[in-house]
Amino acid sequence: MTNNTVKEKKGLPIINQSMLKFYFLAAILVFTIGLSILQKQLGISNLVAKIVLVVFILIMAALYYYMKNRWMRAYMMVIDSLQPILTHKKDPVLYRKELMSLLQFQKAVPFRMMLQMGLYASYCIEENWEQAKNELLDAPYKKSFGLQNVAYWTDRAYVDFRLNNDEEAFEIIEKNRREFVRCQNFDRIGALIRTLFIIETIKKGDKDQGKKMFNDIRKTYNQKALEEEFLYIEKLLS
């Protein structure tokens, strides 16, 4: 995918959110000044002028949030369209190149998190666990929230297990256990959390319980989607 594709998706330009906010604020300022001039020239009452200004601001706010939501959906489509490079073509180098071209212009925390967690995944494919963890440490995780925050700490615990930093992984799981349990029945993130609990159980010495949990999860989830995690668990059980 070229940079032109990154800048435009299905005819919808992907614009800078800060500039979008600037244009709308500038439009409100210009309208306010223009209204003030017309008020003096035409003798418009203060009440009417205030009503007109409030209506204009409400219209502009609605338009701003509409365009912002369109922008966010378009941007997510761009990121999603890159996923097959990693999952089907198995080309982590090209995938990183495309993500980096997006990351250098992106300041919004949710999207920076998505992009850097994508970089993390690309290094996991190569089993470069040190660099994978570095990508997570570089992400603005302290400002993340919701499911994205849960996914982040799931990945952090997993990569610490792969680096044999078991105590750090245990600490992460314990700190986030309540949220992990709440999300363990969700789709993709739930599967990863359940594999994390299995690894935790095995690493703490209870292989029999870990094997039982592993057999249960294999009946529920697509083994191909969790191939890397399943292979690792099998290695721990051997």
Asked whether 20 and 68 are in contact (CB, 8 A), the reply is yes
**In the block, residue with structure tokens 């502009």:** 60
Q: Residue 10: which pLDDT band, with cuts at 50, 70 and 90? A: very low
For the chain, strand residue ranges (E) read 8-9, 12-13
pLDDT score for 237: 94
What was the pLDDT predicted at 77?
85
**Which DSSP string corresponds to 22-88?**
HHHHHHHHHHHHHHHHHHHHHT--HHHHHHHHHHHHHHHHHHHHHHHHHHHHHHHHHHHHHHHHHHT
141 or 1, greater pLDDT: 141
Comparing CA positions, the residue from 20, 17, 8 lying closest to residue 106 is 17
pLDDT value at 211 more than 60: yes
pLDDT at position 70: 81
15 torsion bin: left (phi>0), alpha (psi -120 to 50), beta (else) = beta
Residues listed for the chain: 238
Q: What percent of the chain has pLDDT over 70?
A: 92
For 84-141, how does the pLDDT look when each residue is reduced to its tens digit (9 = 90+)? 898 888 899 999 999 998 888 777 888 889 999 999 999 999 999 999 999 999 999 8
Q: Tell me: the pLDDT tens digits for 148-175?
A: 999 999 999 999 999 999 999 999 999 9
More confident residue, 225 or 205: 205
- Burial of residue 58 (number of CB atoms within 10 Å: 0-12, 13-18, 19+): exposed
pLDDT at 15: 52
Q: How far is CA 55 from the centre of its chain?
A: 35
Torsion of CA 230, 234, 236, 238, to 10 degrees: 180
With vertex at residue 152, the alpha carbon angle to CA 19 and CA 203, rounded to the nearest 5 degrees, is 170
- pLDDT (tens digit per residue) in 52-91: 999 999 999 998 888 878 877 887 888 888 888 988 888 9
**Residue 214: its pLDDT value, please?**
94
CB count within 10 Å of CB 233 equals 21
- Percent helix, strand, coil in the chain, to 5, is 80, 0, 20
- Residue 59: C-alpha distances to residues 51, 53, 227 (Å): 12, 10, 50
What's the Rg (C-alpha) of the chain?
Answer: 24
Task: Look at strands 12-13 and 8-9 and give their pairing.
Answer: antiparallel
Distances (CA, A) of 209 to 161, 176, 201, 212: 18, 21, 7, 5
Query: What residue type is 202 in one-letter code?
Result: I
Q: How confident is the model at residue 17 (pLDDT cuts 50, 70, 90)?
A: low
pLDDT higher than 50, residue 1? no
Q: What are the sequence ranges of the domains in the chain?
A: 145-238
